[in-house]
Amino acid sequence: MADRRNDRNKHEPWRDPNAQPYVRIENVTKRFGDFVAVNNVSLKIYKGEIFCLLGGSGCGKSTLLRMLAGFEETTGGSIYLDGQDMAGIPPYERPVNMMFQSYALFPHMTVEKNIAFGLEQEKLSRSEINSRVEEILGIVRLGEFARRKPHQLSGGQRQRVALARALVKRPKLLLLDEPLGALDKKLREHTQFELINIQEQLGVTFIVVTHDQEEAMTLASRIGVMNRGEIVQIGTPTEIYEFPATRFVADFIGSVNMFEGRLVEDLPDRVRIQSDQLGGVIYVDHGISAAPGAVVWVAIRPEKITIQRAQPADMRENCVRGVVKEIAYMGDVSVYLVKIDSGQTMRVTLPNMERLSDDERILWDETVYLTWHPGSPVVVIQ
């Protein structure tokens, strides 16, 4: 861990101004008739990254991926891979491979044949093909299934065949379309880490498309959040979660309590925001760049709020009173929905660190006080 910390520039090449991007997407636009699917997107992706395009359905993430693979032509802008302009190069001549959401395994071929298919197109010798197929089967741990047909495999095994089939070509760039979407929850978690291991082992650059923020968070070195064909924020999972740049990002990633307010005190190192929606003043211990009196939104994550029965001594800032309306016990955490005095409902999550009896636990219709640390809220202007 210490090594990784010291080696920041190697692991986070986007922080190094001298690093050369491996994939350059410049002002790429895609229109289908009147509909703009991808709108003027520019991205720099570095070698060895796992870059996640995250967004809801119809946000243009899959279209962007299909343009990288060559299945769709760009309407405007250009894509460079390792310095080479990809315009006009058909999918079968690109050094890019894709893992399809449905896996798209050839049903009439065995696992072995499926994986060898891509190598056969490169006109390699039989022995070379065999040894590479064997090697990749070992990496994805499917050696004993080589002679099976796809329908004789489980979902997780099929997913690994699809991965092996794409990786065996040693692509410069691997595109993954919702790679874990078809797996059940337990298998997903396991596979996520396996995917990262394989990626580190082979050093291939991954671009992953997903609508699942959890998948994006665990896999990605960086996430690009997309909305309506545009990239709204690029950052590491931590940056995206802790410092969302817009209301959309704050709302889309995780759950959040969002309040509209007005900037009443604006100093370089702290701000105060008066919010009628909250019914109080929010004090934030870092500065923001907005004029006094500007309308801003404050986002507070449910896990960063404490819930207590006792009234705090100082109620003026970062504190509201409310009544518990709903409690959802999820096992690891409990989610409380608290109706605060202004009429809004706030969501608070509480880790279940101890087993509490019903007398100790906060229950329905109790009056509670919600407080948070001045470092917790995020203020967004748009």
Partner 1 sequence: MARGRPRNDEFNSGRVGPLWDLFFRFGPPRWSQYIRSNWAGQRLVVAVPYVWLLLFFLVPFLIVLKISFAEFSPLGRPPFEPIARFLENGALQINVLFSSYDYLLHEPLYVSAWLYSIKVAFFSTVLCLLVAYPMAYAIARATPATRNVLLLLIILPFWTSFLLRVYAWIGLLKTDGVINNVLLSLGIINEPLAMMNTNFAVYVGIVYSYLPFMILPLYSNLEKHDHTLLEAAQDLGAGPVRSFFSITFPLSLPGVIAGSLLVFIPAVGEYVIPTLLGRTDQLMVAGLLSDEFFRNRDWPKASAVAIAMLLLLVVPIMIFQHFQNRELKAARR
Please report, as ranges, the residues that interact with partner 1 according to CB under 8 A.
69, 71, 90-93, 96-98, 100, 102, 104-108, 117-118, 121-122, 149, 151, 165-166, 169
Sheet containing strand 222-227, strands side by side: 96-99, 173-177, 205-210, 50-54, 222-227, 230-235
CA distance 168 to 190: 22
- Cα–chain-centroid distance for residue 196? 14
Alpha-carbon distance of 178 to 49, in angstroms, equals: 17
Q: Which residue has the tokens 């390792």?
A: 82
Q: How far is the CB of 104 from partner 1 (least distance, A)?
A: 4
The residue among 136 and 278 lying less far from partner 1, judged by its C-beta, is 136
Instruction: Considering the complex, state which of residue 209 and residue 249 has its C-beta at the smaller distance from partner 1.
Output: 209
Per DSSP bridges, beta strands 295-300 and 257-267 are: antiparallel
Q: Residue 206 or 248: which CB sits closer to partner 1? A: 206
How far is Cα 30 from Cα 70, in angstroms, rounded to an integer?
A: 13
User: At closest approach, how far in Å is the CB of 262 from partner 1?
Assistant: 51
Nearest to 155 by CA among 181, 178, 136: 181
Task: Tell me the closest approach of the beta carbon of residue 123 to partner 1, in angstroms.
Answer: 10
DSSP-derived secondary structure for 191-227: HHHHHHHHHHHHT-EEEEEES-HHHHHHH-SEEEEEE
Which is nearer to partner 1, 106 or 364 (by Cβ)? 106
Select 83 or 90, whichever has its Cβ closest to partner 1.
Answer: 90
Q: 């279209």: which residue's tokens?
A: 63
Q: What single DSSP character describes residue 317?
A: B
Nearer to partner 1 by C-beta: 35 or 353? 35
- Residue 104 or 294: the one with the smaller Cβ distance to partner 1 is 104
Nearest distance, CB of residue 215 and partner 1, angstroms: 20
The helix (run of H) or strand (run of E) holding residue 333 is strand 333-340
CA 150/CA 145 separation, integer angstroms = 10
List, in sequence order, every residue forming a beta bridge with 199; answer none if it has no partner: none
Residue type, 3: D
Q: Find the shortest distance in angstroms from Cβ 72 to partner 1.
A: 11
**Of 285, 269, 295, nearest to 378 (Cα)?**
285
Closest separation in Å from C-beta 74 to partner 1: 17
Minimal distance, residue 211 CB to partner 1, in Å: 18
Mutual angle of helices 155-167 and 185-202, in 10-degree steps: 20
Nearer to partner 1, 30 or 165 (CB): 165
Closest approach of partner 1 to the CB of residue 100, in Å: 5
